[in-house]
Amino acid sequence: MKETRSIEVALSDGKKIHGDLTLPHLPEALVLFVHGSGSSRKSPRNQLVASVLQNHNYATLLMDLLTEDEESDREKVFDCELLATRVMEVSLWVKNQMELSSLPMALFGASTGGGAALIAAAQWPQRFSAVISRGGRPDLARDYLSQVRQPTLLIVGAHDEVVLRLNRQAFDKLNCKRRLEVISGATHLFEEPGKLEEVARLAQTWLDENVKSARLPFDSRKTAAEQLAKRLRGRVFSNPIVAAIPRGGVVTGVSLAKELGAEIGLVFSRKLRHPLFSELAIGAICQDQAPVLTKEGLRTQDENPKAVKEEIRRQRKEIEERRKKYRDFVAEGRLQNRTVILTDDGIATGATVLAAAKYIRSEKPKELILTIPVAASDSLGQLAEIADEILCLATPSLFFSVGEFYREFPQVSDEECLELLRQAEGVPKAKSLKYFNPK
């Protein structure tokens, strides 16, 4: 599901330029397309690439950076510094849009737009996360090339000999993470069968590797929760309650509940650990539900059923002790026919959250939304079968522990959790929430 709408950006000189903004459901980043001479936001080539990116949760903005009168002025068409200034003005417009302001932004330039994108990236490194140039003219960025700090991908057709030579020269001047991809059998416009699709695939991979991960690490659990809350705006919830998993998830959950004006409740899910290797999770258990075992857990249960049974007993006892300690804040009995927003500070194997999600389902909520700052890329499959919706800000392919994705990731004590929960009790609650979502 995605929505496309026309936008108008008023420039500082009083002129107005136009673009097409497409928003997939829960976008993870925004890609601003900077087209080249003789093209426009209606370019079928850029639209094809944009469509592929939209299918991978990227919002796209295809802009005409010049007015209709300016498009006929060849001097302005090749004025990459002017185009770069317009790129920045568009990015300021984006920053002022509530639904877009938290998204990292990348630049996709074609032809002369490639040069303009590189100039904009060099001049405003804090604003843009990555640059991609398709059949671009990076040579038009001239002295700016050595100042580019963002990961930069140059894509050129093997038969586009002049532009390929210019790209190779520019590539040598870049001092950032960089890659030059030469597509065999392709000419300047990549009109040959399958070549433009290859461009789109390369662009999507580059963005996955560099833009989504550019949001990490999070400063803290609290700031991660604030980012999650921003992404939930514009939604209607039915008597919402945030269900958090102690202990780290309480920090995330309380912050999220405050941002949304929702209630807070706790679900008690505990890891089951391997009998010989305590750092290895073999599953999880939540409340009085049946345990969830990983493949390793099932194998361990077959080999050593007594040890696994004892670990389950031990974790059930721990859950009961925690339920007593947090008795004023348990979610049990409060979830039926409500929007339940399940959260934790991150997902490694996914077993703990999966066990919690199964428990919440047994309580018959109206809908279950899983909101997680960061998760291992291969851990969301089973969760997608249980949750009505998953909002995850980042799914890095290299994942060792949740803590590596936070600048601050202190251990959280029971006393700290209880204090946070008591403070949250004074936050006004909403029976239903509807955020203003500007069009």
Q: What pLDDT is recorded for position 397? A: 62
Give the domains, in start order, of the chain with CATH numbers: 2-215 (3.40.50.1820), 221-434 (3.40.50.2020)
Left (φ > 0), alpha (ψ -120 to 50) or beta: where does 289 sit? beta
Please state the pTM of the whole predicted model.
0.55
C-alpha–C-alpha distance, residues 390 and 14, integer Å: 42
pLDDT at 131: 96
Each residue's pLDDT expressed in tens, for the chain with a length of 439 residues: 789 999 999 998 899 999 999 999 888 899 999 987 777 888 899 999 999 999 999 999 999 998 888 887 877 878 889 999 999 999 989 988 888 877 889 999 999 999 999 999 988 876 888 999 999 999 999 889 998 888 999 999 999 999 999 999 999 999 888 999 999 999 999 999 999 999 999 999 999 988 875 556 788 999 999 888 887 866 788 999 999 999 999 999 999 999 888 999 999 999 999 888 777 789 999 988 899 998 888 989 999 999 999 999 999 999 999 999 999 999 989 999 999 999 999 998 889 999 999 999 999 999 999 999 998 877 888 888 899 988 888 887 667 678 888 988 999 999 999 999 998 865 545 433 333 232 2
pLDDT for the residue numbered 426 = 56
- Going 308 to 312 to 318 to 319, the CA torsion angle's sign is positive
* Half-sphere exposure of residue 120: CA atoms within 13 angstroms, side-chain side: 35
pLDDT, residue 403, reads: 86
Q: Outline where 330-435 has alpha helix (H).
A: 351-362, 381-386, 414-424
Peptide bond into 247 cis (omega under 30): yes
Distance CA 354, CA 383 (A): 6
Interior/surface letters 100-115, b for 16+ CB within 10 angstroms, e for the rest:
bebbbbbbbbbbbbbb
Which residue, among 165, 140, 156, 158, has the nearest Cα to 37 in the 3D structure? 140
* 273 token code pair: 């650990």
Residue 339 forms beta bridges with which residues? 367
Tell me the helix, strand and coil percentages in the chain, rounded to 5: 40, 25, 35
**CB distance 282 to 308 below 8 Å:** yes
pLDDT for the residue numbered 431: 39
CA-based nearest residue to 113, from 148, 149, 150, 86: 86
**pLDDT for the residue 289:** 87
Strand order in the sheet with 58-64: 2-10, 16-24, 58-64, 29-34, 105-110, 130-134, 152-157, 178-183
Q: For 44-58, what is each residue's pLDDT tens digit?
A: 999 999 999 999 999
Residue type, 436: F
Q: Are 79 and 116 contacting, i.e. CB atoms less than 8 angstroms apart?
A: no
